[in-house]
Amino acid sequence: MIHVFLLFSLCFSDYGFLQGVTSLGINYGQVGNNLPPPDRVLDLLSSLKITKARIYDTNPQILTTFANSNIELIVTVENQMLPVVMDPQKALQWVSTHIRPYFPATKITGIAVGNEVFTDDDTSLIGYLVPAIVSIHDALVQLGLDRYIQVSTSNSLAVLEESYPPSSGSFKSEVSGAMSQFLQFLSSTGSPFWINAYPYFAYKDAPNKISLDYVLFNRNPGMVDPSTNLHYDNMLYAQVDAVVYAMFRLGYDGIEVRVSETGWPSKGDPDEIGATAENAAVYNRNLLRRQMSNEGTPLRPNMRLEVYLFALFNEDMKPGPTSERNYGLFQPDGTMAYNVSLSALATTSSTSSASISLTSYATKVKLPPRWNIKA
């Protein structure tokens, strides 16, 4: 029997390290054979005061378990389903089966139609993407759900041809046609552009050229975009603004960019430079500090940047290098993958501030109370 003991000290009236931070969510992946059941996951999210999560399917056990909770969910249409749901009738059937039975008890707020389709090895999927998105949205309209559920797709940063400096941001020419159609949909429906942005990858590929402090949100000189004179003190914000400029180059302004994934691995292969528990703790700690301040990017300082951390758990069945299985804040047994040691002070107004700490603790507060998993 494994119990998880966490101590959360918060200068509000309740426990939880993210209370009041409404712009931050977390990715709840399920590619593991030892993960806790959804009810234990809900306990954990509730204890952390996390109110937004993203899953990579429409797992009925999760959708049922999360009913009548305060967790807002983004669900996913898997890539292999795109050729199916591009048909309006099939899309209506999909929404009627995978969404309608659970809504509104389960707070489904978004549907990601595919994941990183524009950069998938199967390039045929690009032709299915926008028709599938439109069909899913039209199905929501028919069922009266479009006012509550946004439709978009998550994109890899590799969809950009240029990202540095941010003002040079542009999409790859081979996807520009489908991308324009996608942006037209987002513009007409008010849906966000979701980007999976990982400064870790840039640092890993060029550790001698890129400052570790810059990618970890530590204090550093940063960089100034020569075309805009905007100052960037971290790479994540620069990546987000590069997407904004890329959309502008295709004639679209005003579409919100949200970070659907970002994170840092706590372990990696010998050639995965920077993949350490120390760096992962610093990256997530500093990102949470920024979230507590409700920051925007230099280009959009007054638009709070919504971010979903990757990921909730280490997932032992993910293919690829060691880092792929070590992005989690938590181990599957509920213990922390590393000590975030979060201690931050953020003032969001002249009258409200929060002091936060998150540490493993063995004798005081038991959260969640029903966590009981066999290792």
State how far the Cα of 129 lies from the Cα of 146, in Å rounded to an integer.
19
State how far the Cα of 63 lies from the Cα of 67, in Å rounded to an integer.
6
Q: Which of 72, 116, 272, 306 is catalytic?
A: 116
For 236-257, what is each residue's pLDDT tens digit?
999 999 999 999 999 999 999 9
Dihedral angle, C-alpha 49, 55, 58, 63, nearest 10 °: -10
Active site residue 116: yes
Quick one: DSSP state of residue 350?
S
- Beta-bridged to residue 327, according to DSSP, are none
Query: What is the β-pairing status of strands 24-27 and 52-54?
Result: parallel
Tell me the residue type at 116. Answer: E
What is residue 361's predicted lDDT score, i.e. its pLDDT?
A: 27
Instruction: Collect all residues with Cβ–Cβ distance below 8 Å to 26 and sequence separation of at least 6.
Output: 45, 50, 52, 53, 54, 308, 309, 310, 311, 312, 329
What's the whole-model pTM score? 0.88
> With a cut of 70, which residues of the chain have pLDDT below it?
1-21, 341-375
State how far the Cα of 247 lies from the Cα of 252, in Å rounded to an integer.
5
Instruction: Collect all residues with Cβ–Cβ distance below 8 Å to 101 and sequence separation of at least 6.
Output: none
Instruction: Collect all residues with Cβ–Cβ distance below 8 Å to 239 and sequence separation of at least 6.
Output: 157, 163, 166, 195, 197, 199
For the chain, the domains span 24-339
Can you read off the two tokens belonging to residue 125?
A: 């999927």
> Within its chain, how far is the Cα of 146 from the centroid?
22
Q: Which of 162, 256, 261, 315 is catalytic?
A: 261
CATH level 3 topology of 24-339 = TIM Barrel (3.20.20)
State how far the Cα of 212 lies from the Cα of 232, in Å rounded to an integer.
14
Residue 335, CA distances (Å) to 95, 313, 320 in order: 36, 10, 24
Tell me which residue of 151, 155, 153, 154 sits closest to 189, measured CA to CA.
Answer: 151
For 27-58, what is each residue's pLDDT tens digit?
999 999 999 999 999 999 999 899 999 999 99
State how far the Cα of 295 lies from the Cα of 52, in Å rounded to an integer.
18
Dihedral angle, C-alpha 154, 189, 128, 325, nearest 10 °: 10
Cβ contact 260:54 at 8 Å: yes
Q: How many CB atoms lie within 10 A of CB 270?
A: 7
Cβ contact 104:147 at 8 Å: no
Burial code of 285-308, b = ≥16 C-beta within 10 A, e = fewer?
Answer: bbbbbbbbebbbbbbeeeebbbbb
Instruction: Collect all residues with Cβ–Cβ distance below 8 Å to 158 and sequence separation of at least 6.
Output: 119
Active site residue 278: no
